[in-house]
Amino acid sequence: MNRQYLLISILGAFLICFNVFASDSNKAPMYFGDFKNLVIPASADKWIRMAADDFSDCFQRATGKELKIIEGANPQDMEGNIFIGNSCSLLKFFPDAGRSKSGIDCYELFADGRNVAVSGINGQGNMYGTYEILRRFGWEFYAPGCERLPTSNNPIPIFQVSVTPVFEQRVIALNFYCYPSIYSLKDCLKLGYSPYSLKESDADMSCSVPPGIGDSDFVRIYGNYYKKIILHNMAFLCPPWLYLKEHPEYYARDSAGKSKMTATTTPNKIKLCLSNPEVFKIVEARLKEWMSQTPNARYYAIVDGDSWDWCECEGCLKMDPPQVDCFPKDRKPQQLSDRMLKFINKLADFVREKYPDKIIVAAAYQSTGQPPLTVNHLASNVRILLCPDYNIGCKCQSHTFACFRNKEFLEYFKKWQHVAGEQLEVFEYPMNYKDIYNPFFSHDGMSKRLSFYQQNGVKGVTYCGQPYLFAELFIYLQGKLMWNPDLDRNKLEDEFLSAFYGSTAPEMKKFLEKIRARVNGDNPVHQSESCAQPSLLNADLVKQGYDIFLKAEKSLPVESPYYQRVKQVKLCGLLWADLNQYITRDDEGRYSHLKELADICRNSGNPQYVTSLTSATGVSMQEWLYKKFQINIKKEKQKAWYDAPEIVELRACSTSAELNDYIKKTKEKIKTQLQSVRRGDKILLPLNGFTVYGTQTSPILNKVGNDKQMVLLLYGQESMATSFILNSIPVLDLNIEIKGLDHDKNGKVPLLVKLNGTVVFDEPNSFSKTQMSDRCLSIPVHLLKKGENKLEIENMGKPAAFENWIMFSSFCIVTK
């Protein structure tokens, strides 16, 4: 026997290297294709069985040979065995097995040149370890439909390693639109994520399950909606259908004692009165029942409704820190983490004895985002799920907390760390929820944050969805980094791109680098999760982008699997945002890009992909097409927007002449509806007569002061235009009366107003910030024309999430 010492670089954070006894060097080397038996213990659980099935399936596809599965017995052969899970036969071959495991999901791997073995701390550890063994023979899983098989002639190596993931909880919640149907629970496990699923059929595998599983009343009343509740589950813990009518005091009330909850409040918005002792008893009983029905689950989120409607009863106010006004008149409720923790700590104490391994997860979110002032400890079975969103000072998701826009959040993080110590998890917002197809690039920022979390002892990370631009890359890379944030990101990215985009990987990398340069470059773009207008694209980048995609598409046959993937990047990185934000302005360009958008959706083969497009900006596709393209389609159930006759006609245009005919015809149909209205000496310019070059294209009903009005809204760098007819040129200058409202932040939004192409106003606006106010602009008579006159208004402010907007409720030209 030769004694060899090996140093092995591996995935996990904790690496233990042993001296390894190698097999006889005189024997012929053995290869992956030489495996004969797969050995599992007699008591193998579902995780080990799943891993064994996957291994033998992969072996069969790679070698054409079958593995013999041996259950609970010693293999006859002394070599060519794969052991999954701890058993006596494993110990015969690898006596060191089981000595160095610690921590959730950890595993040891052994290989002696003739046999390999996985020994996990539990079933899940065995499963992750089995996938890692496969990787060492060349296998990789990049995304559904994109897998690399091992090869027969990969030699069986010699090693012994122990791997523990950096984060215990590694969740990606792909519950947004199309991705849940693309990635199964098993796919996520192969990528290294924790078992998390909202599907009932996955309930016994998921580490945290939505409430309602096993409660037929709850499912009956809320239908499928219960799955969407996920975290905000007070409607499950104290059901309104049982108590609201007779005990309105169980639920959040205002300071006059009136209930803030009604029978129609959606279940994820239900908020409780946390000071009511009867509420506590009900919640405790239902939580215990939930725990007893889900023996495999470990994490139980207990999070109040997703709204600002906190209880203002005397008892609840007493739970808040006395030195703070938690319900300020002019702002949202704040500093409510003290009351939340008093409730959660007590609840945790009451369930610990019966369920010592189960963990209660409480969210530091919105009003509970600020760390507590009077509570300074956490029960040992509680985790704080800190949510770095806009409301608690994390205003940029493109960068780490070193970004100046995240300064406030970093302070909160430090204080929470002080209270929660190592009982801290985070809930990340890596995408834009207002407009999912607008390019959003959080990839690098999120990767770097994982290193920050590792350094600060954070126990778990949950991604609330994924950015749609390079979504599969994000899902793949983050799965790896959650095991070890120190991995070479660039190398993994290149490997992924080449596997997923084939020969067009260099073009995709080029486009990715252009986006990356916008986010990480000299004049960085900061993106927030709920910004209606993520400003990643500009005219230059759009032009360069179309060139890159043209080259990539030309090099691929249409039937290639890479072709659709490239088109998908184009849709989420370029097309949708270009059309939505009017970056390409000429009609022929816009309508030909719309034709391409329709073709991509038509050919995507995933109907969910297309439906999600309709809800991408919160407006229906019908409205979007009308406002942006003056295409008036009828809404038909069962029919996708791209199958409407008007769109079929557009898709049939194959020459520039045909397209221009189509545009002309479409615009003529609509023109008569957009005329200005003359009343005596006044010409009213109706709001829906404006073409808005921006994200909020149509007039919307918006809260202004105490009531609601129809308004047009312009964000930074957006503009709008309309025209009006003059029958003769007036003798004197004209006045335009405008009703408008400036944004509620500091500073005045700069406005630019042009008449017939000439600037008539270019300075900060003087509208009120609290109510609609009138301003009058004078138009010099020499700029006016007989016939059609064009009025343009541009918001010169920078694009931003909740600021630099301006809204208008009426325009009127006074001719005398």
Per DSSP, the chain holds a count of helices (H) and strands (E) of 25, 28
Task: Compare residues 444 and 495 and give the one whose CB is closer to Zn ion.
Answer: 444
Span near Zn ion by CB under 5 A; candidates 342-350, 390-398, 432-440, 566-574:
390-398
Residues 786, 727 contacting (CB under 8 angstroms): yes
Residues 530, 514 contacting (CB under 8 angstroms): no
Among 192, 106, 107, which Cα is nearest to 141's?
192
393 Cβ partners below 8 Å, 6+ apart?
Answer: 369, 406, 407, 408, 409, 411, 412
- Residue 408 CA to residue 411 CA, distance in Å, equals 5
Is 565 a binding residue for Zn ion by CB under 5 A? The answer is: no
- Residue count (the chain): 816
Within 10 Å of residue 770's Cβ, how many Cβ atoms?
10
Cβ at position 316, least distance to Zn ion in Å: 3
Cβ at position 245, least distance to Zn ion in Å: 18
> What six digits make up the tokens of 4?
């060899």
Task: Compare residues 170 and 405 and give the one whose CB is closer to Zn ion.
Answer: 405
Span near Zn ion by CB under 5 A; candidates 96-104, 211-219, 222-230, 307-315:
307-315
Is 339 a binding residue for Zn ion by CB under 5 A? The answer is: no
Is 399 a binding residue for Zn ion by CB under 5 A? The answer is: yes
Cβ at position 209, least distance to Zn ion in Å: 29
Is 403 a binding residue for Zn ion by CB under 5 A? The answer is: yes
Is 396 a binding residue for Zn ion by CB under 5 A? The answer is: yes
Task: Compare residues 316 and 515 and give the one whose CB is closer to Zn ion.
Answer: 316
Q: Which of 311, 378, 424, 736 binds Zn ion (CB under 5 A)?
A: 311
Cβ at position 275, least distance to Zn ion in Å: 5
Among 763, 761, 762, 770, which Cα is nearest to 748's?
763
Write out the H or E segment, with its range, that includes residue 283. Answer: helix 277-293
Cβ at position 753, least distance to Zn ion in Å: 32
The end-to-end CA distance of the chain, in Å, is 106
Task: Compare residues 454 and 527 and give the one whose CB is closer to Zn ion.
Answer: 527
Is 271 a binding residue for Zn ion by CB under 5 A? The answer is: no
Is 595 a binding residue for Zn ion by CB under 5 A? The answer is: no
Amino acid at 36: K
Cβ at position 320, least distance to Zn ion in Å: 11
Backbone dihedral angles phi then psi of residue 158, each to the nearest 5 degrees:
-125, 120
Which region, left, alpha or beta, applies to residue 706 given φ > 0 means left and ψ of -120 to 50 means alpha?
Answer: alpha
Is 317 a binding residue for Zn ion by CB under 5 A? The answer is: no
- Looking at the DSSP bridge assignments, the partners of residue 163 are 107
DSSP helix/strand/coil, 213: coil
Cβ at position 336, least distance to Zn ion in Å: 11
Task: Compare residues 280 and 501 and give the one whose CB is closer to Zn ion.
Answer: 280
The residue to which tokens 């010492």 are assigned: 5
Cβ at position 399, least distance to Zn ion in Å: 3
- Residue 387 CA to residue 427 CA, distance in Å, equals 5
Cβ at position 525, least distance to Zn ion in Å: 8
Cβ burial 305-319 (10 Å sphere, 16+ → b, else e): bbbbbbbbbeebbeb
Is 446 a binding residue for Zn ion by CB under 5 A? The answer is: no
Backbone dihedral angles phi then psi of residue 313, each to the nearest 5 degrees:
-70, 165
Task: Compare residues 304 and 578 and give the one whose CB is closer to Zn ion.
Answer: 304
Is 270 a binding residue for Zn ion by CB under 5 A? The answer is: no
Is 272 a binding residue for Zn ion by CB under 5 A? The answer is: no
Cβ at position 365, least distance to Zn ion in Å: 19
Task: Compare residues 336 and 813 and give the one whose CB is closer to Zn ion.
Answer: 336
Task: Compare residues 296 and 520 and give the one whose CB is closer to Zn ion.
Answer: 520
- Residue 402 CA to residue 675 CA, distance in Å, equals 51
Is 20 a binding residue for Zn ion by CB under 5 A? The answer is: no
Q: Helices marked H in 555-655 — which ranges?
A: 561-570, 576-581, 587-603, 607-614, 621-629, 645-652
Q: Which of 13, 30, 291, 313 binds Zn ion (CB under 5 A)?
A: 313
Applying the rule CB under 5 A, the residues between 504 and 543 that interact with Zn ion are 526
Q: Which of 156, 234, 297, 316 binds Zn ion (CB under 5 A)?
A: 316
Is 44 a binding residue for Zn ion by CB under 5 A? The answer is: no
Cβ at position 254, least distance to Zn ion in Å: 10
Cβ at position 387, least distance to Zn ion in Å: 18
Is 279 a binding residue for Zn ion by CB under 5 A? The answer is: no
CA atoms within 13 A on the CB side of 584: 22
Cβ at position 709, least distance to Zn ion in Å: 34
Using the 8-state DSSP alphabet, how is residue 783 labeled? Answer: G
Span near Zn ion by CB under 5 A; candidates 79-87, 391-399, 628-636, 788-796:
391-399
Task: Compare residues 116 and 531 and give the one whose CB is closer to Zn ion.
Answer: 531
Span near Zn ion by CB under 5 A; candidates 46-54, 117-125, 312-320, 782-790:
312-320
Per-position DSSP letters for 490-535, written without gaps between them: HHHHHHHHHHHHGGGHHHHHHHHHHHHHHHHSSS-----TT-S---
Size of the site for Zn ion (CB under 5 A): 10
Backbone dihedral angles phi then psi of residue 338, each to the nearest 5 degrees:
-60, -50
Using CB under 5 A as the criterion, which residues of the chain lie in contact with Zn ion when the complex forms?
273, 275, 311, 313, 316, 396, 399, 403, 405, 526
